[in-house]
Amino acid sequence: MKIAVIGQSLFGQEVYKELRKDGHTIVGVFTIPDKDGKADPLATEAEKDGVAVFKFPRWRVKGQAIPEVVAQYKATGAELNVLPFCSQFIPMEVIDHPKHGSIIYHPSLLPRHRGASAINWTLIHGDKKGGFTVFWADDGLDTGPILLQRECDVEPNDTVNTIYKRFLFPEGVKGTVDAVRLIAQGKAPRVTQPQEGATYECIQKKENSKIDWNQTAEGLHNWIRGNDKVPGAWAEVDGQKVTFYGSSLMNKGSTAKGQALEIPGASQPGIVTKAGLVLFGNDGNALLVKNLQFEDGKMIAAAQYFSSGSSAAVELTEEEKSFAEKMRAVWQSILTNVSHIEDSTDFFKSGAASMDVVRLVEEVKLRASSCQLQNEDIYMNTTFQEFIQKCVRKLRGEDDEEELVVDYVEKNTNNMTIKMPHQLFINGEFVDAEGGKTYKTINPSDGTAICDVSLAQISDVDRAVAAAKEAFEEGEWGKMNPRDRGRLIYKLADLMEQHQEELATIESIDSGAVYTLALKTHVGMSIQTFRYFAGWCDKIQGSTIPINQARPNRNLTFTKKEPIGVCAIVIPWNYPLMMLAWKTAACLAAGNTVVLKPAQVTPLTALKFAELAARAGLPKGVINILPGSGALVGQRLSDHPDVRKLGFTGSTEIGKHIMKSCAVSNVKKVSLELGGKSPLIIFSDCDMDKAVRMGMSSVFFNKGENCIAAGRLFVEDTIHDQFVKRVVEEVKKMKTGDPLDRATDHGPQNHKAHLDKLVEYCQTGVKEGATLICGGKQIQRPGFFFEPTVFTDVQDHMYIAIEESFGPVMIISKFKGGEVDDVLRRANATEYGLASGVFTRDISKALYVSERLNAGTVFVNTYNKTDVASPFGGFKQSGFGKDLGQEALNEYLKTKAVTIEY
């Protein structure tokens, strides 16, 4: 069709481009005159294509059409008028002229809200549904018949800007083009607008957007967000007009600490906190405002209301000075009416408008992709010097856009002060559980309580999943360049390294891990894991596939690897931080969002990790941490319809239950790393010193609380007695004690229930007739200490030969030399298949045994040698799926095949 586009703005530009792509001929573009020497984006795009552009200042005078204007329009020969974001009054002589008439985009679900401020009123009224309408134009401007409507959910904290960017703009462009397609096909409906439910509120201008304080917190919140950014809800504070931006409702019962701010007419004073300005409705509930703007146009973070000003200016490096000069040239190209850009040049006082803000933000991204400015950053740093300082702080990673509020529990221990968050972490904030429920986490070294930790409830799980879903579907994380995502994950690893001593200390007092091991492995490998997967972010790719069964046409088939969405992760208590890292790093690298449940007995490093993730700049909702019970939190995550993947490490019994729940709920993807009874075969031709050393490590590493621990050692008969004697000598040298003592080899078991199971486990071995060489008892001292234990003469039918101890218990069986296949049969005669090992100097024997051991990992002449690049996971009832290595990414990706015929 021959189409005349009558409108303006980026929206009009995108509609114009899409109509041309659809094959329509644009016979003329009618838009507003240039402003300050700059053409509207729609005009710029059309002029670039050589399309006729008309910039009439007006179409009518005193209600009458201007004949010359109408004549120029009619000369284009348009068959349809498309009016995307048209702000001018178009006379009916133009509206009715084309044979197909005129269609207009309107940002509301007509007839609910009519008028130029329809989006504002959608939010002010607290509507749960919003959307747009494409309707046939008439002389009522927005009362004509409806052609097409699309709706969306209105989120509780949506503003005009967020709902526009998320839905009204992208879907509005598509909807307008779809409407034109329906017209071209002769299928466009004309649905008369009903009068029932129709509204026509006033145009929101500054003078009528003053806040009425006599309403509920929700009413205040809706009024502020409904006027954000234009025209801005305002009130008198300290004798001047102050405009409020960035409102969000606070949880009922939330408390705020800060400095009181008297606000005339408000039911009670506001409170300036580290998070922003807390305001109260007449119902006693609260809302939080993030930014304030004064009459002179200066915008500040609300948290800075009482501060004397911004921090001292940073001194620029030579590289940063070069960047500043490039940006000075950008300012000059935008502010064409300013002869020279001084440090004191004010962006807005020099004539810049909202479109220029968008351009400036994008210009910064082009020159420094790691400097992700928001529009608010420009409004809050209006002079060139302030702007450059903001950019430089962003580039250095020194800029906290929003101060994270953390109610720490502090302890002086291990020659340092550790600061531990203890609340749930949901949507970028530390919050109390529903009903303020808590439980005590216990130090296994002495059995004393460390602190009270928030205990997540079902509603908390639902809130966390909703936050993760929004962050994935609507937030910046899902739209972020993979390389930028990798930079954030790498920055998180750097922060973890900066806090490694604190993390290791928290891990030690919460799980009983020996501090030196916690520093090297629990924390050290966690840092390595995040760094490794940060590098994978921009290397996830599909493949092209030749297909042969679709002749005679030519075809192209390719695959895409895409993130799954909201992923739940449930981890155990033996390596609280490392298990978090093994799963979360791959999950984030793939582009997903996370709701993680740490083990109830070891929540503290996960909560500290949440704090560091927020400080690294990971967007709200990407990571959520919920301490709580498996029966409640883990079960809800398994059942939740919006969770699309669940990764679990724990017992086989619970793994089976989770797998069943995931299948029944929504067939969510599952990966399971479950129990183990890993065999270690030691042949007589081994390096005995190494076999003893590694055999000890295979069992007693991390107090035996190790999923791949050697659950049963098979030692060739000719060296059996020598091996046992050497092991017992080494066991007796082990120092058991305070895990923070650098000389300690063996710390306490993780928690009391597990200690009791270990005692029962060893008692069963004695009853069955196995020989208890040493250990087997609880140490009589405060805390949950259990002796390193060695059993020999263990027969295949015994309970301790079959079941996992998950503790410092070495189970030794004897086998005859030369009976390789028989010992392999015995080693594989278990429902577990997580790991295994073999010690021999014979390379042929080593390869033969490693081929036949039915386990996901085989160690040859070593043990426990895991690496971030090597996939880790089991066979049989040890589960399926992989952690670590490239294969771990596949657990958090889905493959889409696309076939194109050409």
* 380 vs 747: which has the higher pLDDT: 747
d(CA 891, CA 672): 10
CA 38 to chain centre: 39
Residue 550 is predicted with a pLDDT of: 62
d(CA 783, CA 758): 14
Angle, alpha carbons 118-119-120 (nearest 5°) = 90
CA-nearest of 747, 718, 810 to 773 is: 810
Choose the weakest-confidence range: 175-184, 355-364, 414-423, 635-644.
355-364
Lowest mean pLDDT among 104-108, 134-138, 161-165: 161-165
At 895 the three-state DSSP class reads strand
Q: Which of 470, 502, 611, 673 is catalytic?
A: 673
Query: 883: which strand partners?
Result: 872
For the ranges 284-298, 647-661, 757-771, 858-872, which has the lowest average pLDDT?
284-298
DSSP 618-674: PPTTSEEE----IIIIIHHHHH-TT--EEEEES-HHHHHHHHHHHHHHH--EEEEE-
- Quick one: which of 420, 428, 427 has its CA closest to 400? 428
Q: Which domains does the chain have, with CATH numbers?
A: 2-185 (3.40.50.170), 217-304 (3.10.25.10), 318-396 (1.10.1200.10), 408-673 (3.40.605.10), 679-869 (3.40.309.10)
Distance in angstroms (rounded) separating the CA atoms of residues 458 and 640: 10
User: Model confidence at 204, in pLDDT bands (50, 70, 90)?
Assistant: confident
Q: What is the pLDDT of residue 386?
A: 87
Determine how β-strand 129-136 pairs with β-strand 645-649.
unpaired
Q: Which one of the listed residues 24, 97, 100, 106 is annotated catalytic?
A: 106
Instruction: Return the pLDDT at 694.
Output: 98
User: What pLDDT was estimated at residue 312?
Assistant: 59
pLDDT attached to residue 45: 94
Q: What is the b/e burial string over 15-49, where b = at least 16 CB atoms within 10 angstroms of the residue's CB?
A: bbbbbbeeebebbbbbbbeeeeebbbbbbebbeee
Predicted confidence (pLDDT) per residue in 549-582, tens digit:
766 778 899 999 999 999 999 999 999 999 999 9
Instruction: Provide mean pLDDT across the span 18-29.
Output: 96
CA distance to 120, 154, 209, 228, 683, per residue, from 117 (Å):
5, 16, 12, 12, 82
- The lowest-confidence range among 56-60, 265-269, 315-319, 846-850 is 315-319
Nearest to 173 by CA among 119, 115, 122, 105: 105
- pLDDT in the model for residue 308: 45
Name the residue type at position 282: N
What secondary structure does DSSP assign to 259-281, as a single string?
Answer: EEE--TT-SS-EEE-SS-EEEE-
Summarize the confidence of residues 772-782 as an average pLDDT: 95
Residue 604: how many other CB atoms lie within 10 Å: 26
Judge contact between 429 and 624, C-beta under 8 A: no
pLDDT recorded at residue 793: 97
Q: Is the pLDDT of residue 310 over 50?
A: no
Q: Binding site for (6R)-10-formyltetrahydrofolate: which residues?
A: 88-90, 142
Over residues 451-468, the mean pLDDT reads: 96
Residues 6+ apart with CB under 8 A from 571: 579, 580, 583, 596, 597, 598, 599, 606, 648, 649, 650
3-state secondary structure 320-334: HHHHHHHHHHHHHHH
pLDDT for the residue 307: 72
Q: What is the DSSP string of 307-364?
A: S-SPPPPPPPPHHHHHHHHHHHHHHHHH-TT-SS--TT-BTTTTT--HHHHHHHHHHH
Neighbours of 352 (CB within 10 A): 20
Question: What are residue 525's phi and psi, to 5 degrees?
Answer: -70, -30
Report the pLDDT averaged over residues 470-492: 89
| Whether residue 854 has pLDDT greater than 80 | yes
DSSP-derived pairing of the beta strands 259-261 and 789-792: unpaired
Q: What does the pLDDT read at residue 224?
A: 96
The mean per-residue pLDDT over the stretch 611-615 comes to: 95
Q: Which helix (H) or strand (E) holds 725?
A: helix 717-733
**DSSP conformation class of 600:** T
DSSP letter, residue 302: G
Tell me the CB-side half-sphere exposure of residue 422, using CA atoms within 13 A: 23
Residue ranges at the known binding site: 88-90, 142, 571-573, 597-600, 630-635, 650-651, 757, 804-806
Preceding peptide of 739 cis, ω within 30°: no
> For the residues 251-278, what does the mean pLDDT come to?
86
Res 221 pLDDT > 50 = yes
In degrees to the nearest 10, what's the CA dihedral of 892, 895, 896, 898?
A: 140
- pLDDT tens digits, 362-379: 888 888 877 878 777 887
Q: Is pLDDT above 70 for 342?
A: yes
Q: List C-alpha distances in Å: 219 to 122, 222, 246, 277, 601.
A: 13, 5, 15, 17, 42
Question: What would the mean pLDDT of 629-653 be, rounded to a whole number?
Answer: 97
Distance of alpha carbon 32 from the chain centroid: 41
> Which pLDDT tens digit goes with each residue over 477-486?
888 889 889 9
Spatial distance between the Cα atoms of 375 and 31, rounded to a whole number of angstroms:
25
Q: Which of 451, 662, 707, 762 is catalytic?
A: 707
End-to-end CA distance of the chain: 25
Q: What is the mean pLDDT of the chain?
A: 93
State the pLDDT confidence band at 403, using cuts at 50, 70 and 90: low
Active-site residue flag, 707: yes
Taking CA atoms, 107 is separated from 131, 137, 223, 614, 847, in Å, by 6, 14, 18, 35, 69
